[in-house]
Amino acid sequence: MKEAIFTWAFIQSFLVGAIIFFVKRAKINTYLSLLFISIGFKILTQYLMRFTPLRETFPEIIFLPDVFDLIEPVLLFFYFKSICGKNIDRSQYLFFLPAIIVLISGTIYVLSGNFNSMFSYIHSSLHLTNLTTILIWKIGFFYKIFYEFKNIKSEVLKQKQQNLLSWPKILTIFMGFTVFVALILWIYHILIVPNFNVETKEYIRISFEMIFILFNCSIILITGYFFLRNPKIFSGIPLIKTVDEKDFPEGKYYVEKLDKLLAETNIHLETDLNEKKLAEKLEIQPYLLSRLLNDYLGKSFSEFINEKRVIHAKGLLQNESSKKLTIFSIGVDSGFNSESVFYVNFKKHTGFTPAQYRKHYNKKD
């Protein structure tokens, strides 16, 4: 049973990593792809050391999971920053240095005369030092990712795109769980092994192994779920684009002008509205409007307009005088050219269907 789960886990990790890379080749996806491939190699190494003759014939690879444990937080951090529209500084590639040091020190150790089998490494001073380093390393990156998440959360709320927070939130939780797994491994090797009898240690070891493998399997399944639910996550472009006044100093002026135009003319309620027509009304070139929406506000034209239309529809659904209007009529009055498009966008921005929202709002009254 346990052997089958390990086999399934490393095959699944490699497949997910390959799919992400080939679905859309982009730097952002490369980080996520390498993360899953790294997880796959770590699980594969542990599988080989537990269930195959390689544990006797080629035990020198026993320390490799420690190397991957130091690489994974860096890749996750790079991916997290990238989907949040942040650049990776060249100096940050030095974060791979601890993994390189562990790789070199591990190689020197297994080539020395002190190494006879995989058990020569387990519970050695080098192994315990690596476990402590991994725990501290993962705590540090959890703090970094959590800090980044707090920063983007305020930006996303300002843009009224709360739905974009789901994936970054899952990644933050994932990093937190990697800290938990590193902690229980540290507790096992540092505190439990020296102080408990063989039977108790074996029971705890098996329990920890199952926690480890089920945790890694779960993040793969969650990734698959998000891919099916929101393919945009793996489009290779940042989910969140932060406003940079230096890059677009006139952005604030044009946003105010655009908001004023929508408030005075309700042009966003016209079903045939397109980017060119809106640019003409705003008296700017279409490329400038595109830059304003994409680079400054972090939204496509359709996302921006549909968000405004949903706000208008919410007002109609709350209005007493609109109670006799059908859902389709409200959708058309809000600028949507079909009921299905109205339903999809309304639920995306509110979490409710129009009918559910009307019912929910009436209950509050």
Domain's final residue, options 234, 259, 289: 234
Asked if the model's pLDDT at residue 364 lies above 60, the reply is: no
Domain's final residue, options 207, 234, 261: 234
Which CATH number goes with the domain that contains 293?
A: 1.10.10.60
**225 and 336 both lie in a single domain:** no
Q: Give pTM, 2 decimals.
A: 0.70
Query: What's the confidence (pLDDT) of residue 105?
Result: 95
Determine the average pLDDT of the residues in 35-39: 93
User: Nearest to residue 213, comparing CAs of 17, 38, 40?
Assistant: 40
CB 90 within 8 A of CB 101: no
**161 and 221 both lie in a single domain:** yes
| From 108-117, 168-177, 206-215, the region with the lowest mean pLDDT | 206-215
Determine the average pLDDT of the residues in 44-54: 90
pLDDT band at 135 (very low <50, low <70, confident <90, very high): very high
Asked if the model's pLDDT at residue 37 lies above 90, the reply is: yes
**210 and 277 both lie in a single domain:** no
User: Nearest to residue 306, comparing CAs of 266, 334, 275, 340?
Assistant: 334
**33 and 114 both lie in a single domain:** yes
CB 343 within 8 A of CB 317: no
**71 and 177 both lie in a single domain:** yes
**209 and 314 both lie in a single domain:** no
Query: What's the confidence (pLDDT) of residue 156?
Result: 63
- All residues at 6 or more sequence positions from 79 whose CB lies less than 8 Å from its CB, including other chains: 28, 31, 32, 35, 171
Query: What's the confidence (pLDDT) of residue 91?
Result: 92
Determine the average pLDDT of the residues in 222-250: 69
Query: What's the confidence (pLDDT) of residue 225?
Result: 77
Residue 2 lies in a domain: yes
Residues constituting the chain: 365
The two structure tokens encoding residue 2: 């346990």
Asked if the model's pLDDT at residue 169 lies above 90, the reply is: no
Q: Which residue has the higher pLDDT, 270 or 319?
A: 270
Query: What's the confidence (pLDDT) of residue 92?
Result: 93
Residue 206 lies in a domain: yes
User: Nearest to residue 52, comparing CAs of 7, 102, 108?
Assistant: 7
Mean pLDDT, the chain, whole residue set: 85
Query: What's the confidence (pLDDT) of residue 157?
Result: 53
Q: Which range in 53-67, 184-198, 294-308 is most confidently predicted, on average pLDDT?
A: 53-67
Asked if the model's pLDDT at residue 248 lies above 80, the reply is: no
Q: What is the pLDDT of residues 60-112, one digit of tens each?
A: 999 999 999 999 999 999 999 888 878 888 899 999 999 999 999 999 999 88
**259 and 172 both lie in a single domain:** no
Residue 62 lies in a domain: yes
Query: What's the confidence (pLDDT) of residue 227?
Result: 72
CB 251 within 8 A of CB 292: yes
Residue 124 lies in a domain: yes
Q: Containing domain of residue 347, as a range?
A: 251-362
Asked if the model's pLDDT at residue 55 lies above 70, the reply is: yes
Determine the average pLDDT of the residues in 262-288: 89
CB 206 within 8 A of CB 200: no
Residue 243 lies in a domain: no
Query: What's the confidence (pLDDT) of residue 163?
Result: 64
Q: What is the pLDDT of residues 188-224, one digit of tens each?
A: 888 888 887 878 777 877 787 777 777 777 877 787 7
pLDDT band at 4 (very low <50, low <70, confident <90, very high): confident
**111 and 227 both lie in a single domain:** yes
Neighbour-count burial for 150-188, b at 16+ CB within 10 Å, e otherwise: eebbebbeebebeebbebbeebbebbebbbebbebbbeb
Domain's final residue, options 206, 234, 262: 234
**112 and 28 both lie in a single domain:** yes
Determine the average pLDDT of the residues in 102-130: 90
Query: What's the confidence (pLDDT) of residue 138?
Result: 97
Asked if the model's pLDDT at residue 289 lies above 80, the reply is: yes
**223 and 271 both lie in a single domain:** no
| From 30-34, 249-253, 301-305, the region with the lowest mean pLDDT | 249-253
| From 9-13, 216-220, 335-339, 353-357, the region with the lowest mean pLDDT | 216-220
pLDDT band at 246 (very low <50, low <70, confident <90, very high): low
Query: What's the confidence (pLDDT) of residue 28?
Result: 86
Residue 75 lies in a domain: yes
**76 and 213 both lie in a single domain:** yes
The two structure tokens encoding residue 73: 């937080």
Asked if the model's pLDDT at residue 139 lies above 90, the reply is: yes
* Domain total of the chain: 2
Residue 239 lies in a domain: no
Query: What's the confidence (pLDDT) of residue 158?
Result: 53
| From 225-229, 254-258, 268-272, 325-329, the region with the lowest mean pLDDT | 225-229
**157 and 100 both lie in a single domain:** yes
Residue 244 lies in a domain: no
